[in-house]
Structures are given as structure tokens and as C-alpha cells.
Amino acid sequence: MRGKRYLCALKCTDMTIINTLQQAVSQAVETLYGAAVEAETIQVNTTPAEFTGDFTIVVFPMVKLARKAPDVVGAEIGAYLQERVPEVHQYNVIKGFLNLELTADFWQRFLLEEASTPEFGRQARKGEKVMVEYSSPNTNKPLHLGHVRNCLLGWSCSQILDAVGYDVIKVQVVNDRGVAICKSMLAWQKFGNGETPESSGKKGDHLVGDYYVLFEQKTKDEYADWQKSEAALAAYAGRQQQDQSEEAFFKAYKNKWFNEQSGLGAEVRDMLLRWEAGDPDTIALWKQLNSWVYAGFDATYAKMGVDFDKLYFESDTYLLGKDIVEDGLKKKVFYRKEDGSVWVDLSDAGYDEKVVLRADGTSVYITQDLGTARMRYKDFGCEQMIYVVADEQNYHFAVLFEVLRRLGEPYANGLHHLSYGLVELPTGRMKTREGTVVDADDLIEEVISIARGQAEEYGALEGVTAPEREDIFRQIGLGALKFFMIKVNPKRKMIFNPEESVDLQGQTGPYIQYSGVRINGLMQRVEQEGVDLTPAKAYTDFQPQEKELLKGLYEYPGIIQTAAAEYDPSHLANYCYNLAKSFHRFWHDLSVFNAADPEARAFRLELSRAVGQVLRSGMGLLGIEMPQKM
């Protein structure tokens, strides 16, 4: 069971106030109405700000058992709780909602003993391993906007799973072989004149990507020339659909032409064959270009702040899966057709028949994934594997997981496709051929420079050294970009408009960072002036703005659990925003350092410290840094 419970504070093995209330309500129903209600099923939420109270119990489900009106049931249970649970200070009932106000002592202890600890929100180690696969680029071109979303999701999910106690192994599959990289190789060989990243000053992945584009361009030129030839006219004359225009025909014909008539097509196929045969010169060329690409990728990953524990290379795994095919045949999960190809029939599960091994005995895409899954389990013994891959591959993963289940793989029930919507431009999907791809490096530079421009306008960093300033611009720019991408539900398709610069105001990363900067300012003064915080314990008359923050802090552990259970960091992003918003309001409405009495000052400082720590922790799980100044 993967239940969602927002309100599951700190250590789940301990009794939390939520558990206490659930138990007490269950007893109340038993005592008052002689009916049994399982404690775990009782809904306890934090009370919305517009009502008085801290926690709210939904009494509707108990109404039928009691055979009384909702407000009567609420009042009776409320009275029972106030009597038996020391933490319950007061209660009120509105319709079917029982709002409970807890004692100041409860909140004091929560703030000072739980929320202030560095481990607040993190769970004990489970001793279970989870593998998260993300990024998984092709090596023929640099990373782009889509990879950015993928990396942020994958990396953040890894952190969140770690926080709830899993041992996480971050991996990527590097698609380093195949026709795509051969195109770059061929173009570089023919037209490159020995260009290297050193000679041209280009980043390696960009250099290789440029040759991929060049290959496509040269092919296009060749095709345009060919279209004037006798053979082309003959092909058009013999076309299937007589009403087809010449333009439409040649557009549709391009693949066939490339495979059968193009000179470059023949050359690139030849290169792929030589690669597969292990031709030393081809392998050397391949290694050379890929090494440039990896250096480029490493730089981009470092800038994004993501990393991996292990890399799987497709050149090592593309032949895998043959043994799993044999296994499947033995188990009668697969069957062989007359031509020798091997299939799996999933029509009873609502899918199609899928080929898992070609007639010539070579692997297809899914065969690699079957073999790789088994290899990973052997490598790490992970009970769960999460694949961060765009939603265009939903069907592929549904089939993959179904096949692994039928094969009885021990990890088959721990597989999850973290499917996310493609990032599109206002003009539609990004297309390499049309040059509309938003490059990851460019994008990162862009957001940093926006942050730089904005900061210079504010002029708040005057006493800061230049390198420190640059680091702050980087933190703000990346904070804005990361928050922008991660605050929306992963499965939602997202439109990115490069014309509209990334916002720094409102519901953004910098908004949250700014609340941290304010808190940091307070903490520095506490340090400098040696403020005594012990009077905090004597503060009991909480203001609504303070209560809002306390309730917000209380929700943090449950939010992490929800984010982990749903593999969805956006919950955490929205949580951080809401907490920062509450803090800004608190800051505006109440004096912290200049509070009227030492008790209020000490308490508000403690509260601010805890908020700052939770924000740093929560944003950290999203891969967003909190600058000291901005």
C-alpha cells in the first residue's frame, strides 16, 4: 500500500500528535457510539488559515455510525478529546469539521525539539536500494531544454528518496552508438580538417553536434541535387498516389532515398558496419569524438549540479538480452515465428504483440532494456528501478514492465516509469533539423545573466567581491530556472517561451531565496549581538502569522513522503513557496528583532531559524541553493 498522508511528522515509528488524535477519535467513537473505526482511516488535516484551530478532523464518516447530526458528533468528539488528550487546548465545530487548537506547550516543544533539528523531515535508513535512471542522452549532440527537465526531475527524486531512507543509485544510459554518432563521425572525417575542441575553442559536445547538423545539411543538399536527376523523375512518375504533389512526394520519399540511393547514406551505413565489426580506425574515431562529448556533458552536468553513481553505455548493453530471450522462450512467455524472430503476445493485457528479437538474431530496443534491467539487478540488487523518461515512451515502458513481470523477475514489482511531459516551444516541439532546439548551456548562461542584470539594478551586493557576486548570480539564475521547471507536475506538458525571460518575482525560486536571505540577516545579528534565545520558551500568545508558520513547518515531513511516494518533486517546490510566502507575511506584519518583549523576540528568532533551515533543506532536495545575500 502506498498511502498518501500529508501529516506524518518526523519519525513514523514514534507517536506523533496525528497518531495520538486518530487513536483518541477511534476510542471516542467506540465509547460514545459503540462503533469501531480504524484509527488510520481518520482524516486529520491542518486547519485552513481562515478558521481557528491547528488541526481539523473530518467527522462526516462518523455521522452514520453515531446516527446524529454532524455538528453534534463533532461537538461530542471534541469534548472527549479535550478531556483525554492533554495537547488539545480548545475546539470548535463548523458543519462537519472539528477544529482543534493545541496547547502552546505542544507547539513550543515541536519547534524547539523537532523542527529545529538538522534531521527534521528525514526518515531513518530503510536499507533498501533504489536505482534512478535519468538524462540518458545521445552522444551526437549537446544537452537541451528537455534534458534539463529530465535531469532536474531525476536528480531531485533521487534526493527525495534518499531523504525518506532509501539508498539511491543514480545512473544514466549513454546512447553512444548507432547511426546518429556515425553521422557526426562521417561529417567530421569528410569536412572537419582535424578540428578539435582545442583548435576551435568549442565545447566538445557542441563541436560534435555541429558536425551532426552539418551532415544533415549536406544530405539535404545532396537530396536537392538528386531531385533534378532522371532517377528522381522516374521515381515521381511511378509514385503510388497520383494526386500527390511533387513536393509532398519528395518529402515522403526522403527516407527511402537515403536508405537506397544517397551516397552519404551509403557511407554512414558503411561506417556503422565497420563500427560493429570493430574496425580499429573507426573505433578510434568513435572514441575520439565521444570523449569530446563526455567532457562537454560533464561541464553541463556540473553547472546544473547533477551527478551519477554509474554510467551504462549502450555500446556495452546493446547486445544484451539474448539470454533473457532464451529464458522467455523456455518459460513460454515468448514464441518464435517461422522466420526465426521472437515475439511476445500481450494482447490479453491490452497491448500488442511485440518483437523481442529480430529474424537475424539481433536485439531491438526493448531487448536491450530487458537485458539491462537484469544486469542492473545483478550489479546492485536494487528492489526498485525508476526510469525518468518522457511520456512519448509510456507504451514502451508499460510493455517492458509487463514482460519483466511475466518473466517473474524478482524486481518486477518495483519498476516505475517517471513519465514527464515534453518541453515544447510556443511553435511546437523542438526540432534539430529546424534549429529550434534550446541548448542547455545557452539557457543556463541566459538565466544567470538575467539574474546579474536584476541584481545590478538593485545594487544590493556592493560590499561583495566579484567572484562571490558571480556565484550569487549563478545561484539566483539557476534557482529561478530550476524552480520554474520543477514546480509544475511532471506529467504536465510544458511550454517554454525563450522570448519571455525567466521571472525573478512572484512564485519563483528567488522569492524563496529572498526569504532565506532575510532570515540569514536575522541570524547574523543573533550571532553578532549574542542574543539570548532562552526566553522563547516563555512565549505563549501566538499570533496568526506565527501559527501559520508553525503549521507549515509541521507539514514538512509529510510533504517529503508524498513527494517520494508519488515520485513528484513539485509537491516540495510548492510547499517551499507556501512556507516562504507565510514567512514574508510574518516578517511584514510582525517585528522580529524589534519585538516588544524579549520572549516574543526570542521565539520569533527561533521560528525564523527553523523556517530558514527547512527552506534550505527543502530547496536542497530540489537542487536549489540558498544564497547568503542577494
Smallest distance, RNA to C-beta of residue 197, A: 25
Using the structure block, give the residue that is written with the C-alpha cell 520572549.
Answer: 599
Q: Which residues are CB-contacts of 410 (< 8 A; sequence separation ≥ 6)?
A: 377
Question: CB-wise, 168 or 386, nearer to RNA?
Answer: 386
Question: CB-wise, 15 or 460, nearer to RNA?
Answer: 460
Q: Which residues are CB-contacts of 497 (< 8 A; sequence separation ≥ 6)?
A: 425, 426
Question: CB-wise, 202 or 322, nearer to RNA?
Answer: 322
Which residues on neighbouring strands pair with residue 345, listed in sequence order? 353
For residues 279 and 265, give the distance between their C-alpha atoms in angstroms, rounded to a whole number: 19
Question: CB-wise, 180 or 213, nearer to RNA?
Answer: 180
Question: CB-wise, 109 or 178, nearer to RNA?
Answer: 178
Which residue type is seen at 556?
Y
Q: Which residues of 230-256 are buried (b: 16+ CB within 10 A; e: fewer)?
A: eebeebeeeeeeeeeeeeebbeebeee
Class of residue 535 by CB neighbours under 10 A (exposed 0-12, middle 13-18, buried 19+): middle
Question: CB-wise, 43 or 82, nearer to RNA?
Answer: 43
For residues 279 and 282, give the distance between their C-alpha atoms in angstroms, rounded to a whole number: 5
Residue 5 DSSP SS3: coil
Stretch (H or E) spanning 344: strand 342-345
For residues 496 and 503, give the distance between their C-alpha atoms in angstroms, rounded to a whole number: 12
Smallest distance, RNA to C-beta of residue 286, A: 15
Smallest distance, RNA to C-beta of residue 448, A: 11
Residue 143 grid cell: 544537452
Smallest distance, RNA to C-beta of residue 53, A: 7
For residues 386 and 403, give the distance between their C-alpha atoms in angstroms, rounded to a whole number: 16
The three state secondary structure string of 96-161 is CEEEEEECHHHHHHHHHHHHCCCCCCCCCCCCCEEEEECCCCECCCCCEHHHHHHHHHHHHHHHHH
Smallest distance, RNA to C-beta of residue 476, A: 5
Smallest distance, RNA to C-beta of residue 123, A: 19
Using the structure block, give the residue that is written with the C-alpha cell 573507426.
Answer: 282
Smallest distance, RNA to C-beta of residue 292, A: 21
Question: CB-wise, 174 or 382, nearer to RNA?
Answer: 174
Question: CB-wise, 20 or 520, nearer to RNA?
Answer: 520
For residues 214 and 407, give the distance between their C-alpha atoms in angstroms, rounded to a whole number: 44
Residue 145 grid cell: 531544454
Smallest distance, RNA to C-beta of residue 514, A: 3
Smallest distance, RNA to C-beta of residue 100, A: 10
Smallest distance, RNA to C-beta of residue 485, A: 10
Stretch (H or E) spanning 57: strand 55-58
For residues 314 and 137, give the distance between their C-alpha atoms in angstroms, rounded to a whole number: 11
Question: CB-wise, 102 or 451, nearer to RNA?
Answer: 451
Question: CB-wise, 68 or 396, nearer to RNA?
Answer: 396
Residue 229 DSSP SS3: coil
Question: CB-wise, 168 or 486, nearer to RNA?
Answer: 486
Smallest distance, RNA to C-beta of residue 43, A: 5
